[in-house]
Structure 1
């Protein structure tokens, strides 16, 4: 009598073995040196709207169009769909697979028996074929873990592509407005110099000035005129870059001629104790790659052990008459066991390679954390120093403007030297242009703060 316990015991043994998965179980790093890391990645609430704080309608329109039309962002989105499709395909490998088959076969002399000489046999077969790799040691599950981590990485990179695109649009918008502003400043400087030249010319006509004084004022005038083409080139460059980001041809932007650089009405705030690393997509991406490389160790290690698979068929095999019934019913079960016992050296080499890849991924993750921390610190420090420089230059420009007025009045009255007026005007022109540069620089560095902190910075 067959014992009923044997099939049950076999099923329990198979289930127990199937629950095993060789290789290390992944644990996300919680700390790198003295830097605490929080996973998983969290998209900042402000990521999709932080630029609205500038209250600039043109900038809002540019970013909305870029998010809808940019091809690099569309590529990143398609990469997410592809990665999750690969994950679903890999994840299904742990389940039995089946196909429906129908075929026809004709043969002559099918055996070596003399009785079959000249005998032609024909027949049909139809039914379902089933195959199942039992995954006793978790090779397929580790492969699924790796595919899932890579799909999650693709999703994180898509969010990062949005942040980078928004930042690029904002930065190039600042460069566009900055070039406009410097162009306007140059034109205003030309007006000031032309007024001074008219004064010198009048004094020259009255015999109170020299040709040398007129030549000196002309030097400054032509110097400013020579800078205008450079500002126009910067304007064309920013226009072309913005157009590319918006997936449109250059020259179609309608941003208006008013040179205004966006400013915040409130300063940005760093929340004490907030772990901004969780908003950094590059850090989260490196962490997901570490998870995938760790799972690859299990995939390689599973080849040290045997692999059990089952193949089966259930259907009908009939003669040329294609009759289906109990007489033609057919089934088969074919378990098989395979083991790379003769190639264990290669298996162990693949395990060492997988471990080395995991170590590389860990080092990359740790370096990315240090890079992120320094990037955030540098962004904050650069912006604060830029603001200090801008405020000092504003005071310098105001003082220079007052000095020019006094020097011009004294020169007209005949109590002042021409060189004093020339030096005062030269300093005024320089401070006005420098102020325009610093306004542009401060805006770009402010955008850099949002990008460095993954859009997680809030307004006070």
Structure 2
């Protein structure tokens, strides 16, 4: 289905061409984020990742399970999760800082009014004044614009981090729900086996007293009973662990969350389909966040370079001064406009060092962006490989259970006819139990592999979460 090694050389060349295009940004005053995302989408198209999954839209993919409980848990998590609330507040703070940075385009200043009364050698004097003081730094060389671009990129990066956290929360809720329902199924299987073994023990006790069966058969049956009973505490703990995970994700305590048995999640068709794999990859929030962080570092590098140029500003003030009273009566008007140019020539060594430091940080952010793209591609390939592996294992597990169940029914009939001893019947029952538990585990693993695939290809559906 997927042959990663056959495409590795081709993808490596395409990826180098894609990432090398970011180096051309050094000639521009601002990084073209949209072009970078478009180049990445074209690269994903060329690499033909997940082309076999092309189909229906993946938006709200968890609704394929048709579980009202799961849908409610996802909604609760998106509205009540405390980590999401924290990230949302941090995003609001980032946009507030962006607003503060944009205000640097406008004149800055203050309004002051004062009055004083003094006595020198019994001679009392009074004075009052009112002043408007303004300072306007002209952005002739683009330093303020670069700082605004950096603040904007930082806010957008924070927005992408929030979206990445939403992906993690939704995926964890679905995985936790599937795990909980799977543990309920395993508990039911174990309880059925315990009941069957107890019935067998009652029959064997009577047969031992009649001399038809041996103590060995009875003791082996007791041993299997205790083995199954020993599994129940672990299953109960696993269920509580899943409940606790879901409770934290939805901002509650484990005692406040109630989930009932929902067997249909294992019987309904649940397919992994992507409307457009290139968008699902190129729009991933972790890649977008790394790209915006690179854009932020690049803009700060531009601002550090602009700091080497002169700063031109206009300073002015206007006010009134009244001598002899504290009520601004009989005041004298005064004003002043003063253009000013400042060039920190004596600070050039420090400014050059700061520019170099920021350029290194820009290169580091670009390297981090490259790394994130590679990690995302690797994660997507691994998720597809896992999807194939779990699908194959599920088929084998189901076939194993069917054969084990047939063998048990045959052993049961042969035992009734006296063709095999009771211990062989116990072995056949143990085989079908193990096979049934393995089939449930494989079903859970297959569902969670599909969730992991949606988690890896999250670009489109995670954008829809922002509009919920």
Q: Normalising by the residue count of structure 1, what TM-score does the alignment of the two structures yield?
A: 0.84
Contact 1:23–1:295 (8 Å) recurs in 2: no
Deviations 1:223-253 (A, max 9, x none): 1111110000011111112112222222222
**Which digits, 9 at most, give the CA deviation of each residue in 1:391-418, with x for residues without a partner?**
2212211211121121122123211133
Match for residue 422 of structure 2? 418
List per-residue Cα deviations over 1:194-245 (Å, max 9, x = no partner): 3443444444333233212222222221111111100000111111121122
SS of aligned partner of 2:293: helix
Q: For residue 100 of structure 1, report the CA deviation from its aligned partner.
A: 2.1
Rate the CA distance shift 1:169–1:288 in 2: closer, same or farther, 3 A: same
Alignment of 1:335-350 (within 5 A): 335-350=339-354
The match for 2:438 is: 434
1:356-405 per-residue CA deviation (whole Å, 9 max, x = no partner) reads: 11111111111111111121222222123212212221221121112112
1:93 — aligned with what?
104
Query: Do 2:150 and 2:295's aligned partners in 1 also have CA atoms closer than 8 Å?
Result: yes
Matches of 1:137 and 1:36 in 2, distance apart? 38
Q: Name 1:58's counterpart in structure 2.
A: 69
Is the CA contact (8 Å cut-off) linking 1:22 and 1:138 kept in structure 2? no
| CA RMSD of superposed structures (Å) | 3.0
Q: Take 1:403 and 1:341, find their aligned partners in 2: how far apart are those partners?
A: 91
| CA distance in 2: counterparts of 1:92 and 1:271, whole angstroms | 42
Q: Contact conserved, 2:41 with 2:282, CA < 8 A, in 1?
A: no
Which of 304, 309, 315 is matched with 2:313 structurally? Answer: 309
Relative to structure 1, the CA distance from residue 108 to residue 365 in structure 2 (aligned partners, 3 Å threshold; closer, same or farther) is farther
Tell me how far 1:78 sits from its aligned partner: 1.4
Report how many aligned residue pairs link the two structures. Answer: 425
Q: Name 1:170's counterpart in structure 2.
A: 174
Name whichever of 443-452 and 259-268 sits farther off.
Answer: 259-268
Partner residue, 1:387: 391
Q: Deviations over 1:399-454 (max 9, x none)?
A: 11121121122123211133432321121110111112122222222221211111
Q: What residue in structure 2 maps to residue 299 of structure 1? A: 303
Query: Is the 8 Å Cα contact of residues 300 and 350 (structure 1) preserved in structure 2?
Result: yes
Corresponding residue for 1:160?
Answer: 164
Cα distance in 2 between the residues matched to 1:276 and 1:163 = 12
Distance, in Å, in 2 between the alignment partners of 1:23 and 1:272 is 31
| Stretches of structure 1 lacking an aligned partner (at least 5 in a row) | 1-20, 39-44, 110-116
2:90 paired with 1:79: yes
Following TM superposition, by how much is the alpha carbon of 1:72 offset from its aligned partner in structure 2, in angstroms?
1.3
User: Quick check: 2:113–2:130 contact (8 Å CA) kept in 1?
Assistant: yes
Equivalent position to 1:365, from 369, 389, 392? 369
Deviation at 1:146, TM superposition (A): 0.2
> CA shift at 1:280, angstroms?
0.7
Q: 1 or 2, which has the higher helix percentage?
A: 2
Question: For the pair shown, which has the larger CA radius of gyration, 1 or 2?
Answer: 1
Asked whether the equivalents of residues 269 and 457 of structure 1 are also in contact (C-alpha less than 8 Å), the reply is: no
- 1:49-99 Cα offsets, whole Å, 9 max, x none, are 332221101111111222222111111211221111100110110221232
Paired with 1:48 and 1:330, the residues of 2 have a C-alpha distance of 66
TM-score by length of 2: 0.83
What is the aligned counterpart of 1:27 among 18, 24, 32?
Answer: 32
Cα distance in structure 2, aligned partners of 1:146 and 1:124: 44
* Equivalent residue, structure 2, for 1:256: 260
